[in-house]
Amino acid sequence: MLRYLVLYGHFVRFSTSKAFEFRVDFFFRIFMDLIYYGVNIVFYQVVFLQTPLLGGWTRDQSLIFLAGYLVVDALTMTIFSNNLWWFPVAVNRGDLDYYLVRPVSALFFLLLRDFAANSFLNLLFALGILTWALVRAHMEMHGLDIAAYLLLLALGAWLHALMHLLVVLPVFWTQSGSSLHGIFYNLVRFMERPDRIYTGWVRKLLVTALPFCLMASFPARMFLEGFAWRLMAHFALVVAGFTVMVLSLWKIGLRSYASASS
């Protein structure tokens, strides 16, 4: 475990110094994400000009949800997104060969080797927005509540990464690269809005088999509406289930790995 932490420390150091080298790109990416954050905040302000409640939440509560979503987004962008983007390429080109001969989990390399330093700054901004949303809501809350919220958001980010991985893993059999991402990027948009705006079987699907509504909405619901065992069990079960499923699929995939010939 310690060894993996030290290795991750190296990844962070290398990725960061690489990111600083291309500084125009670095600042541009941060700027783009900030625009995205701004657009989202304005979106909610506009929605609440028309209605007092959205999915059962007031404007202040919705902003806390939004800030939570932005934290999940920034977390995945910082840690996983770049790596998952390159995942099919690494499998197709045979880069995986070198990871497989090392005495370290190959999945660890594929999922974590690139740390997005620019997104890390955005993560700090997202946490800033969360603080702002919490302060303006004038809610009664404990430090422990906030810590629990952040922890649940981190689990949401992990679920986000798992779903993306699930979508790209078929590359072991299809050998086709980035078309797989499209599925994920379309589905992931369901995470951006409160889960209760969806109803019927769509909602059922979005909290079980395609759990995009769990990633940001469930943590926010537990924070805003109080801890509920049922909700927590649901959330934990889905995260655990997908973890097991994705890891098994990865192992099955490796058995079929043909490795690009040289």
Nearer to other proteins, 2 or 35 (CB): 2
Q: Which is nearer to other proteins, 51 or 256 (CB)?
A: 256
Handedness of CA 217, 222, 228, 234 (dihedral sign): positive
Q: What is the nearest approach in angstroms of other proteins to the Cβ of residue 22? A: 10
Residue 160: CB atoms within 10 A of its CB come to 26
Q: Which is nearer to other proteins, 45 or 259 (CB)?
A: 259
Site for other proteins in 33-92 (CB under 8 A): none
233 part of the interface to other proteins, by CB under 8 A? no
Q: Does 23 bind other proteins (CB under 8 A)?
A: no
CA separation for the pair 32, 73 (Å, rounded):
14
| DSSP 3-state of 57 | strand
One DSSP character per residue, 131-192 reads: HHHHHHTT----HHHHHHHHHHHHHHHHHHHHHHHHHHTTHHHH---THHHHHHHHHGGGGG
Count of residues in the chain: 262
Secondary structure percentages of the chain, helix, strand, coil, to 5:
80, 0, 20
Q: Least Å distance between CB 242 and other proteins?
A: 24
Distance in Å, CB of 1 to other proteins, minimum: 13
Q: Which of 32, 89, 104, 240 binds other proteins (CB under 8 A)?
A: 104
Considering only 1, 6, 24, 49, the residue that binds other proteins (CB under 8 A) is: 6
Does 251 contact other proteins by CB under 8 A? no
Burial 66-104, CB ≥16 within 10 A → b, else e: bbbbbbbbbbbbbbbbbbbebbbebbbeebbeebeeeee
Q: How many residues bind other proteins (CB under 8 A)?
A: 23
The least distance separating other proteins from the CB of residue 154, rounded to whole angstroms, comes to 25
For the CA atoms of 110, 127, 157, 205, what is the dihedral angle to 10 degrees? -150
57 phi and psi, to 5 degrees? -110, 145
Measure the CA–CA gap between 66 and 64, rounded to whole angstroms: 5
Evaluate the CA torsion angle 232, 249, 259, 91 in order and state its sign: negative
Q: How far is the CB of 101 from other proteins (least distance, A)?
A: 5
What minimum distance in Å lies between the beta carbon of 105 and other proteins? 9
Kindly tell me which residue out of 36, 98, 185, 227 binds other proteins, with binding defined by CB under 8 A: 98
Q: Are 124 and 67 in contact (CB under 8 A)?
A: no
Among positions 14, 20, 36, 43, the unique one binding other proteins when judged by CB under 8 A: 14
User: To the nearest whole angstrom, how small is the minimum distance from the Cβ of residue 14 to other proteins?
Assistant: 6
For residue 187, the minimal CB distance to other proteins (Å) is 25
For residues 7 and 148, which CB has a smaller minimum distance to other proteins in the complex?
Answer: 7
Q: Does 18 bind other proteins (CB under 8 A)?
A: yes
**Where does this chain bind other proteins (CB under 8 A)?**
3, 6-7, 10, 14, 18, 21, 94-98, 100-104, 255, 257-259, 261-262
